[in-house]
Amino acid sequence: MKKARWWWKAAAVLMCAFVAGNTIFVASRPQSPLHFMTELSLVIAALGNLQYAFGWPKLPRVLWRIVGPLYSVAMLWPIGSAIGWLAARLAIKSLTPADQIGTWFVIVLLAGYVLMIVVPLFRLGEWYRVGCKEPEIPEELGLLVQTFE
């Protein structure tokens, strides 16, 4: 896996700070099993972001092949719904320029949040390796390569 860019590293650090703060806040209150599972999935996504950005901790790609699609599907409905509601708000309501800018900012922030989580989870799964076979090199091509050595 190639090295991540500096902005992925900054995003991973910011996300881990957010997740740590959120985990402390949630742990200080009584919670339902659904809240616990949500928090656990956010911690796993933060670990994936760290692994993608810095290369550690090294968790197997099988884990990311399971977690990536599940987490993406779980995020799809609430975040898509929120973005759709905000976009409808922009289209229907007569908003002040400050409200329009704020609404656009939240839409971009939500879209960035989704990309910041989903892209590393899918790349860590190394889906390009699923079902790949070693390419068969024709014998004629092998002879041609030997000619130019």
Convert the pLDDT of each residue in 124-146 to its tens digit: 888 767 666 665 666 655 555 55
Judge contact between 42 and 27, C-beta under 8 A. no
Residue type, 103: T
Q: Cα–Cα distance between 6 and 17 in angstroms, integer?
A: 17
Alpha carbon separation from 27 to 7, 18, 40, 42, 53 (Å, rounded): 30, 14, 11, 14, 27
The structure's pTM equals 0.71
Q: Cα–Cα distance between 133 and 92 in angstroms, integer?
A: 52
Q: Cα–Cα distance between 58 and 81 in angstroms, integer?
A: 34
Q: How confident is the model at residue 109 (pLDDT cuts 50, 70, 90)?
A: very high
Alpha carbon separation from 106 to 63, 68, 84, 86, 114 (Å, rounded): 31, 24, 12, 8, 12
How much of the chain, in percent, has pLDDT values that exceed 70? 84
Close Cβ partners of 12 (under 8 Å, ≥ 6 residues apart):
4, 46, 49, 50, 52, 53, 54
Q: Cα–Cα distance between 95 and 104 in angstroms, integer?
A: 12
Q: What integer pLDDT is reported at residue 98 of this predicted model? A: 95
Nearest Cα neighbor of 9 from 116, 118, 101, 107 is: 116
> What would the two tokens of residue 131 be?
């079902």
> What would the two tokens of residue 101 be?
């800018």
Q: What integer pLDDT is reported at residue 32 of this predicted model? A: 83
Judge contact between 125 and 61, C-beta under 8 A. yes
| Average pLDDT score over the chain | 83
